[in-house]
Chain A
Amino acid sequence: MHWFLFMFYALFAAGGALAVVFSQNIVRMAFYLVISLGATAALFFLLDADFVGATQLLIYVGGTVVLLIFGVMLTSSSPFSSIKNTPAELLQGGIVGLTFLTLLISTALSVNWSQSPEMVGGTQLARVEEGFNPRQEGNTSRSIGTALLGLRFDRDLAGQTVAAPVHEHPATAAQGEQTLSVAPAERLSTGYLLPFEIISMHLLVVLIGASYLARAKRSRTASPV
């Protein structure tokens, strides 16, 4: 069942992406992009990454694509504007696309997939249950939230209860220092509070700058509208 769902959504994600590339009509492209992004969100849900999936839906599908269509509606001169590519553009796009494709393929091939469960288990250290509900009911966002606030319960509280079993694993032992050196309660992990704040300040600056640039330039003597 899980396999079937994965294949189903993966097919839609890949097919939608291909349709974006081969479609000529901008708004149709946006629609195919919605399919592709929505299927990707579904893949996130399948991986128990509820928060990421929901964010993908809210920001990309509900926000960005709507803005994209909105922009097309505001600016296009003909009813259904389409894109005609010159051969030079095709060549440029093809080169860039192929470069990224080779990068992705080489990355995918360089991972040892047969050991991935152990590696995932090793890097996650331990799963400290936070919050009220079991994980099967979607208790997956709390660790993200606390990490963004600067608290890493999964690292700081993990050592006491789960330290010994984690060390037994070859994959974890191979990783060496990073996992072993974090002694519980001696040194607290910092989480992502600083990057989070930097990004939000950055976005605020961008927002103010954009509104300043977009404001209509009027001379002071002109009558207020």
Chain B
Amino acid sequence: MISPVLAKTLSDGLNESTDSLHGSGLVEWILQAFPLLGTGGALLLAAVIHTALVGLFFGLPAFIFIWAERKVAGRIQDRLGPTRTGGRFGWLQSLADGVKLIQKEDLAPEAADHLLFRVSPYIVVVAAFSAFIFVPFSDGWTAVSMDIGLFVALAVLSLEVLGIVLAGYSSASKWSLFGGMREAAQMVSYEVPLGLTAVIPVVIAGTMNLNDIVSMQSGGFWNWFLLHDPFAFCAFFLFFTVTLASNKRAPFDLAEAESELVGGFHTEYSGMRWSFFFLAEYAAMFFVSMLAVLLFLGGWWTGLPVLDQALVALPGGAGAWGYLSRVIAMVILLSKTGLLVFVQIWIRWTLPRLRIDQVMTTCLKYLVPISCFLFLGVVTWPLILLSTIQSSTLWGAPLGERVPASTRPVEMEQQTHPLNERSGSTGHSKMETETVTPLVANSGTLHRTGGER
């Protein structure tokens, strides 16, 4: 029974992996709407749509946050910041910056390694952009849904450092070289506490699927992993600190320390290639903030049971209401993320820059041991609770009961059998087919469930 399925999978031109790569629900919908396209065309169109959507989430926040950075910096320094372009608050300052940067000449130093010099900004941008592919923007709204979503996202984001190091090296300039070296040393060290703190919510939830992690934080802000136990509470702040460093944000912006290294790794860049680095930086800021929200701050849940109830209880169906409830959820997620980005900007313009040895000391002597300790604590926490108060959580429902009913393993029995007919293998993408019906478990947690199951 199994091997024919595998044989079919392997021999089939369009096997499951490509389906899941491009979101099967969208592909099916396109096939129904435009049968002329054929499967390949539909796959391609679905891929283009997903890429464009993710691209918007990559570009637009960067656009807004560059303006916000200038405005917040101005206010903190008792200035006004941009005031002219596009109205009283200078809303269109980023656009003006962009137009200016496009017009500039695309220079490369004569001594530079031209191939690497030209290619490294693209590596940075592509890495920051690809990380968004794995992030759920709302319940089920993710371009590629994976059970190892968090791991893949962090892995892809870690490629960003490669572009920066290559940029620093290939510029053939001492400033750039120093910037690149600092960045490499800093990133290699900070990956360790980043991974350890990101694993803490995974330990609590028992899954690396970001969608499931958020689902388990439904039902009220006391169910957020931030308040799950004291270790997770500390882990959030540690995670936030480490993401500052991994984004080269002050006080860890040694790679582009203007006072000592001119511009650091991007000294020799100009025009669009220079702006690519900043586009990627702001997108990465947005990304790690979103990750922090998804992992610790309840993702798209407001945290107030009344509001969440009302949101989930919107009249069901795959139609407009289900869509609307997800859009609202996405707005909640993006507002929380924006708040964290604001804190990042605030910190940048408040704290002085560390020295490179202080940066390394902070990481290796403090952050790594602390994160190891927190990890150990979070692992033993449920055991301690079980042996003292006979419950695996301090408050709220046990985590197992918070798993969305639509995705509990019982359903798997029904889904594995029709695999042969291929209807089961493509029919249940959360992207399009899932409908929203109110289902409130007796534990007080909220689930969006698939209506047809």
Residues of A whose CB lies within 8 Å of any CB of B are 1-3, 5, 25, 27-28, 31, 34, 45-48, 50-51, 53-55, 57-58, 61-63, 65-67, 69-70, 72-74, 79-80, 116-118, 120-122, 124, 126-127, 129-142, 162, 165-166, 169, 171-172
Contact of B1 among A48, A79, A133, A165 (CB under 8 A): A165
> Chain A residues with Cβ under 8 A from B407's Cβ?
132-133
> Chain B residues with Cβ under 8 A from A80's Cβ?
113, 172
B181 touches A120 (CB 8 A): no
A sample of 13 more A-B contacts (CB under 8 A), given A58-B154, A137-B147, A138-B148, is A1-B18, A3-B13, A25-B113, A27-B113, A50-B146, A57-B156, A67-B184, A73-B181, A132-B403, A132-B407, A134-B412, A136-B24, A141-B208
A48 touches B17 (CB 8 A): yes
| 6 interchain residue pairs of minimum CB distance | A121-B3, A138-B146, A117-B7, A62-B158, A58-B155, A165-B1
> Chain A residues with Cβ under 8 A from B191's Cβ?
62-63
Report how far A33 CA is from B154 CA in the complex, Å. 20
Report how far A129 CA is from B411 CA in the complex, Å. 10
Residues of B whose CB lies within 8 Å of any CB of A are 1-7, 10-21, 24, 39-40, 43, 111, 113, 115-116, 119, 144-149, 151-152, 154-156, 158-159, 161-162, 165-166, 168-170, 172, 177, 180-181, 184-185, 187-188, 191, 207-209, 212, 403-404, 407-409, 412, 415-416, 425-426, 428-430
Whole-angstrom distance between the Cβ of A157 and the nearest chain B Cβ: 12
A73 touches B116 (CB 8 A): no
Contact of B144 among A3, A66, A138, A169 (CB under 8 A): A138
Tell whether A134 pairs with B161 under 8 Å between CB atoms, given A47-B17, A57-B156, A117-B3. Answer: no
B2 touches A132 (CB 8 A): no
Contact of B166 among A5, A69, A129 (CB under 8 A): A69
Whole-angstrom distance between the Cβ of B167 and the nearest chain A Cβ: 11
Report how far A187 CA is from B20 CA in the complex, Å. 36
B2 touches A45 (CB 8 A): no
B147 touches A133 (CB 8 A): yes
Whole-angstrom distance between the Cβ of B450 and the nearest chain A Cβ: 12
